[in-house]
Amino acid sequence: MSTVRTKDLLEHFNLELVAGKDGIHREITTSDISRPGIEMTGYFKYYPKERLQLIGKTEMAYFMELSDADKKDRAINLCTDITPGIVISRGMDIPEALVEAANDSGVPILHSPRKTTRVISRLTNYLETKFAPFTAIHGVLVDIYGVGVLITGQSGVGKSETALELVKRGHRLVADDSVEIRQEDYDSLVGNSPPLIEHLLEIRGLGIINVMTLFGAGSVRSHKKISLIINLEIWDQKKQYDRLGLDEDKMRIMEVDIPKATIPVRPGRNLAVIIEVAAMNFRLKRMGVNAAEEFSERLTTMIKNEKDETE
């Protein structure tokens, strides 16, 4: 999990530091953002002071109607020793009482010209991404026809070579060898490459190659949502492999179940083409077209018809 500080918001968004410059290195510990509406009335019993505070038009209008003594009281209570910052939206004028309290306590006040809903949406998305649960998996992530396919398997099974063939066929490499995965939503996993090996492929016998240099900028991308897992394994004569595709296996990564297919590897099999077709078939299934189920229905109908004819 990344460490986020108030100064990071200044660097990533169109924000102006108005007061409390001594506190720009305060750490933001949660992605939740608070709009202190009830606090403006003086009720601070459940004030979430550890959150980033966002004051919009409604909160500011109420604050401006308070007496000078109440303004000072509310400002002092808003600016605690652990509050990471206060964001004022819509380019509104900032009351002197709030500026003084922020400077005294070292709580940064950030000024934004944007609308409140847009500010809170962008800040929330940014913080959710930074605080998303994180893990790393040994494998290769490729974007195939818009489907993020995570190729897994034991070392030496041919994952990188298959990824190279897929790139040659016009698909895009996201990560090789180690895939960093973060859970951005309850059902969404996004993978990317560690910065050290970004755009690189390791091919045994050749060594390290730079995919972007060899095949151009269109052959790589920085991150991709993982939709399908293809597990490569050495062909086992004693194992029964799925030949119809009716049973859908899943693999759980953190709290998300991702569809998984196991492809046996042996000489003569074109793995790149098989994985490419698997990605296209996955897209068809999401569109409501399932070839395996259609075949099963045809077979059931044929058996039923033949049974009726014999009776």
Where in the sequence numbering do the catalytic residues fall?
A: 138, 159, 177, 243
**Tokens coding 28:** 């933001």
153 labelled ligand-binding: yes
155 is in an annotated binding site: yes
Q: Which residues contact 43 (CB under 8 A, 6 or more apart)?
A: none
The annotation status of 273 as a binding-site residue, yes or no, is no
Rounded Cα gap, residues 59 and 77, in angstroms: 15
Q: Give dist(CA 164, CA 120) in Å, integer.
A: 41
> Amino acid identity of 34?
S
Tell me if 23 is assigned to a ligand binding site: no
Contacts of residue 212, defined as CB under 8 A and 6 or more positions apart, other chains included, come to: 199, 219, 220
20 is in an annotated binding site: no
* C-alpha to C-alpha distance for 256 and 186, rounded to whole angstroms: 7
Q: Is 91 annotated to bind ligand?
A: no
**Residue 186: strand pairing partners:** none
Tokens of 193: 């490459």
Under DSSP, the state recorded for 198 is T
Known binding residue 158? Answer is yes
Taking CA 137 as the corner, what is the angle to CA 1 and CA 238, rounded to the nearest 5 degrees? 155
In Å, how far from its chain's centre is CA 127?
11
**Contacts (Cβ under 8 Å, ≥6 apart) of 27:** 3, 4, 5, 84
- Does the annotation list 170 as a binding residue? no
Structure letter (DSSP) for residue 131? T
Residues 263 and 229: their CA atoms lie apart, in Å, by 10
| Residue 34 annotated as binding site | no
DSSP letter for each residue of 111-164: E--S-HHHHHHHHHHHHHHHTS-EEEEESEEEEETTEEEEEEESTTSSHHHHHH
Q: List residues bridging with 208 in a β-sheet.
A: 202
7: buried, middle or exposed (CB in 10 Å: 19+, 13-18, 0-12)?
middle
Task: Please enumerate, by residue number, every residue annotated as part of a binding site for Mg(2+).
Answer: 160, 202
Residues tagged in the binding site annotation for ATP: 153-160
> Which residue positions form the known binding site?
153-160, 202
